[in-house]
Structure 1
Amino acid sequence: MTGIGKLLMTIGVVIFIIGFLMQFIHIGKLPGDIVIKKGSTTFYFPIMTSVVLSIVLSLIFYFIGKFR
């Protein structure tokens, strides 16, 4: 396989794993996420969810790169 093929497969596997885990772990309701409700409008800014996902993805890609 070419380098780009491996990269696309890796990204696909990571997205699949994240999608599978999100069915069991309700990410998005962490302390630190900002939710503002006014009338019929809701603004949601997932700060802590973004930080947690960034750390998890960084670790996954670090280990994939290390064992390559």
Structure 2
Amino acid sequence: MNSVSKILIVGGAILIIAGLLWQVVGRYLPLGRLPGDIVVEKENVKFYFPVVTCILVSVVLSLIGYLFRLFK
């Protein structure tokens, strides 16, 4: 198999596992509803931008990437 196809398959599997974990952990950890997330509700419009959640996910993924590089 080509190396690009292997990377895509592994990446897809990781995304599936992350989605399943998000469903299970989401009941206990309020990701997406943290203080600092922007929610604007008008009559027929709801605008939602999870600023703090994006920052938190970015920091966690950066730390995981750093640890992988450190122990490689």
TM-score band w.r.t. shorter chain: 0.7 to 0.9
Determine the structure 2 residue equivalent to 1:44: 48
Moved more, 14-23 or 31-40: 14-23
Structure 2: how far apart are the matches of 1:62 and 1:4?
23
Alignment of structure 1 residues 25-40 onto 2, 5 Å: 25=26, 26-40=30-44
Gaps of 5+ in 1: none
Which of structure 1's runs of 4+ aligned residues deviate more than 4 A?
2-8, 11-14
Determine the structure 2 residue equivalent to 1:22: 22
The number of aligned residues is 67
**CA RMSD of the aligned region, Å?**
2.4
Task: Report the TM-score when normalising by structure 2.
Answer: 0.69
Deviation of 1:52 after TM superposition, in Å, equals 0.4
- CA 1:6–1:61 in 2, change beyond 3 Å: closer, same or farther? farther
Gaps of 5+ in 2: none
Structure 2: how far apart are the matches of 1:64 and 1:12?
19
